[in-house]
Amino acid sequence: MARLKIDNLRKSYGPVEVLKGIDLEIEDGGFLVLVGPSGCGKSTLLNCIAGLEDISGGDILIGERSVTGLHPSKRDIAMVFQSYALYPNMTVEKNISFGMEIRGMPRAAREAAINEVADMLQIRELLKRKPSQLSGGQRQRVAMGRALVRDPQVFLFDEPLSNLDAKLRVDMRTEIKRLHQRMGTTIVYVTHDQIEALTLATKIAVLKDGELLQFGTPDQIYNDPVNMFVADFMGSPSMNLLPATVVEDGGALMVSLAGHEGDMLLPAPESAAMRALLGRQVIFGIRPEAFTDPQGADRTTGQIEKRTCFVDVVEPAGSDTFAVVNLGGKSAVARLRADAQIAPGAVTELAFNMSKAVFFDPASQARVQ
């Protein structure tokens, strides 16, 4: 077990720079999730940590030791691949013991390690089978077993759940979390699924186009996004990002949104940055759960603002009811209680939890605080 530090990591393929100076640090026993859209460089970053790709600049430290230039097998890491990468010609048992065999571990010790892992992952009855005779979930378990027998400093997971069906994915997610709690080993986990990122991580790194946009706890990433990309990428349904204008009303800063009957005013936080935008456009961001029916609104905060809105579409989803509302010239999604009485085409009162509202500069897309 060890902390992992990535220091100004750069990686280019010829003239194309795919990682543009990444700085990350995850404490011993932490769970770091690298998240971002396809092509953002997250898998490349993981491969750099694993040593499967050479780096073009910067440094990677596992524990206190720089691993730059070290062979993958010398870095004390274990990796679970997206396709599981089980050797097709070997039984499950051989798959798990292959690495130990290469390292010249005696047979008795290998068998003990296999048995321990097989019990932990409940794959004992699969040991004599070939990978082609396993289901997706079983292959996933075997792949994890192969990583576990190494007892490494850092586990690397490359989108391990993306080949599973939806239900199994949720089960395996819980299992990975349980495994992490039991083992306490540092994990680096790549995914494009923001729910996986939020549920598993102790720290999340959001990447886009080879740049680290934000690095923080799930709570920071979700509630304090640094820019519109992070705000939009994390959370499902995603945050409502609505064009508004900063105005002054009786000395207080307000944002003005185009509502169903003229403009709607909502209070904005008093700050120099906000005041600088007076009279200009701003993007008003509010998550669907902070935009709800007055009965369902969070009563612990004193910043509930009620406004009448025009409900365009109603989408009951069992646990919640989603209402699509016309706001600021766009469709905004409000998340209501499941049994909220609401009809499409109606004008109804909805509550804005302004303590959760965030504002962005439309030009730079950066957060305005």
Partner 1 sequence: MSAAGQDIALKGSRITRFVIYTVLIVFAIFYLLPLYVMLTNSLKPLEEIRGGGMLSLPKVWTLEPWRAAWSHAQIGVSPTGLKPFFINSIMMVVPAVVLSTFMGAMNGYVLTKWSFRGSGVVFGLLLLACFIPFQIVLIPMARILGLIGLAGTTWGLVLVHTIYGLGFTTLFFRNYYAAFPTELVRAAQIDGASFFQIFWRILAPSSAPIVVVTVIWQFTNVWNDFLFGVSFADFDSIPMTVALNNLVNSSTGVKEYNVHFAGAILAALPTLVVYIVSGRYFVRGLMAGAVKG
Provide the binding-site residues for partner 1, judged by CB under 8 A.
47, 50, 52, 71-73, 77-79, 81-83, 85, 87-89, 98-99, 102-103, 146
Nearer to partner 1, 49 or 311 (CB): 49
Q: How far is the CB of 53 from partner 1 (least distance, A)?
A: 10
Q: Is the Cα torsion angle 96, 101, 105, 110 positive or negative in sign?
A: positive
Buried b (16+ CB within 10 A) or exposed e, 184-195: ebbbbbbbbbbe
E strand or H helix at 137, and its extent? helix 136-148
Nearer to partner 1, 87 or 174 (CB): 87
Judged by DSSP in three states, 140 sits in helix
Q: How far is the CB of 81 from partner 1 (least distance, A)?
A: 5
With contact defined as beta carbons under 8 Å apart, do 246 and 255 qualify?
yes
Nearer to partner 1, 101 or 219 (CB): 101
With contact defined as beta carbons under 8 Å apart, do 200 and 170 qualify?
no
132 C-beta neighbours (distance < 10 Å), count: 9
* CA 24 – CA 212 distance, rounded (Å): 9
Nearer to partner 1, 158 or 320 (CB): 158
Q: How far is the CB of 74 from partner 1 (least distance, A)?
A: 8
Distance of CA 193 to the CA centre of its chain: 6
Nearer to partner 1, 73 or 331 (CB): 73
* CA 233 – CA 35 distance, rounded (Å): 9
Nearer to partner 1, 164 or 354 (CB): 164
Characterise 267 by phi-psi region: left (phi > 0), alpha (psi -120 to 50), beta (else).
beta
Q: How far is the CB of 99 from partner 1 (least distance, A)?
A: 3
Q: How far is the CB of 85 from partner 1 (least distance, A)?
A: 4
Nearer to partner 1, 100 or 121 (CB): 100
Q: Which residues contact 114 (CB under 8 A, 6 or more apart)?
A: 93, 96, 97, 127, 149
Tell me the two tokens of residue 315. Answer: 């989408």
Nearer to partner 1, 34 or 50 (CB): 50
Tell me the two tokens of residue 277. Answer: 């935008």
Q: How far is the CB of 292 from partner 1 (least distance, A)?
A: 45
Nearest partner of 350 among 290, 263, 301, judged by Cα: 290
Q: How far is the CB of 75 from partner 1 (least distance, A)?
A: 8
Nearer to partner 1, 149 or 323 (CB): 149
φ, ψ of residue 75 to 5 degrees: the values are -90, -5
Q: How far is the CB of 204 from partner 1 (least distance, A)?
A: 25
